[in-house]
């Protein structure tokens, strides 16, 4: 039996309406994210980018301090915290109405970002596997939780990933974790199939082609394919030149049921949402 998706999520007292697909802007406070155009280091750069994203129509700002590109090196909790918490504090102070997502798999950083610095939701690329305390923190804080599928870690995820049936395998993986989260009282869960995280290019295109199958979970679906290698390797270009391909695949994702697009280029994504919404 198909479950109807929740059409609203509670982001710190604000209900975010998902009857219209939403756009999440990426703010990477890192020196080595795969797309150099998304790296922001100084307060001026961070605030300028956040302000521009909101002006361009971003509904959520996703702020992270840990690079998850394939082969990325691990960094300490302190280094990640120093990067991301400072940025969240800066954005919250200057843009008080922004909905902020903290992009981290570490429970302590997620907790501090929410309680001390005013973030509204958690985006966990490890789906709870990176920190055994994450689910209890999400339950305690009662905030929206984006659970992403990743096979392995950023350092190992592209070492010959394989699946029996990629969609069925990922849905099973989600099902086990969704059960734990709901049993702990977590109300707002968003699933992210994890394009590029432990998947080959062919896996990624199969996920996109079968994205509608994830509706069986009865939860909102986030898609993050912005400027990823499935685009630029297929087209034999660079990530810098992958905006057009990103827009094309974002449109396909929306037609297949995506509720949130996580993107580097907010204005173009917002325009895509408006056009697809008109088509619907």
The 10s digit of each residue's pLDDT in 47-57 is 999 999 999 99
Question: 3-state class of 207 per DSSP?
Answer: helix
Tell me the pLDDT band of 31, cut-offs 50, 70 and 90.
Answer: confident
The yes-or-no verdict on residue 229 having pLDDT over 90 is yes
Average pLDDT of every residue of the chain: 92
The yes-or-no verdict on residue 1 having pLDDT over 60 is no
- pLDDT cut 90: percent of the chain above it: 81
Q: Domain 19-279 sits in which CATH superfamily?
A: Dihydropteroate synthase-like (3.20.20.20)
pLDDT the model gives residue 190: 98
pLDDT the model gives residue 116: 97
Q: How far apart are CA 6 and CA 214, in angstroms?
A: 14
The yes-or-no verdict on residue 70 having pLDDT over 80 is no
- The DSSP H or E segment spanning 124 is strand 121-124
Q: What residue spans define the domains of the chain?
A: 19-279
User: What value does the mean pLDDT take over residues 3-13?
Assistant: 86
pLDDT the model gives residue 35: 55
Tell me if 174 sits within 8 A of 129, measured CB to CB: no
180 is catalytic: no
Q: How far apart are CA 265 and CA 272, in angstroms?
A: 11
User: What value does the mean pLDDT take over residues 244-262?
Assistant: 98
Least confident of 41-45, 46-50, 129-133: 41-45
262 is catalytic: yes
Of 262, 267, 278, 280, the active-site residue reads 262
User: What value does the mean pLDDT take over residues 252-266?
Assistant: 98
Tell me if 69 sits within 8 A of 34, measured CB to CB: yes
The yes-or-no verdict on residue 20 having pLDDT over 60 is yes
Of 22, 83, 92, 228, the active-site residue reads 228
- pLDDT cut 70: percent of the chain above it: 91
Q: How many CB atoms lie within 10 A of CB 52?
A: 13
């Amino acid at each position: 039996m198909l479950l109807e998706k929740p059409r609203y999520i509670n982001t710190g007292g604000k209900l975010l309406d998902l009857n219209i697909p939403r756009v999440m802007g990426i703010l990477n406070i890192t020196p080595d994210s795969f797309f150099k155009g998304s790296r922001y280091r100084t307060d001026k750069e961070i605030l300028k980018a956040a302000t521009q994203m909101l002006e361009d129509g971003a509904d959520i700002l996703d702020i992270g301090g840990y690079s998850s590109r394939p082969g990325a090196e691990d960094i300490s909790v302190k280094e990640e915290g120093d990067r991301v918490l400072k940025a969240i504090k800066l954005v919250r102070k200057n843009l008080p109405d922004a909905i902020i997502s903290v992009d981290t798999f570490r429970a302590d950083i997620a907790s501090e970002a929410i309680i001390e610095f005013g973030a509204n939701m958690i985006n966990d690329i490890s789906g709870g596997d990176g920190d055994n305390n994450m689910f209890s923190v999400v339950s305690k804080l009662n905030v929206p939780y984006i659970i992403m599928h990743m096979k392995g870690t950023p350092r190992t995820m592209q070492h010959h990933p394989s699946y029996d049936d990629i969609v069925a395998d990922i849905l099973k993986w989600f099902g086990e974790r969704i059960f734990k989260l709901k049993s702990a009282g977590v109300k707002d869960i968003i699933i992210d199939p994890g394009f590029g995280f432990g998947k080959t290019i062919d896996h990624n295109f199969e996920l996109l082609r079968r994205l509608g199958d994830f509706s069986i979970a009865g939860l909102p679906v986030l898609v993050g394919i912005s400027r990823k290698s499935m685009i630029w390797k297929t087209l034999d270009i660079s990530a810098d030149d992958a905006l057009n391909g990103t827009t094309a695949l974002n449109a396909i994702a929306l037609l297949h049921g995506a509720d949130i697009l996580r993107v580097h280029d907010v204005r173009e994504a917002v325009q895509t949402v408006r056009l697809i919404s008109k088509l619907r």
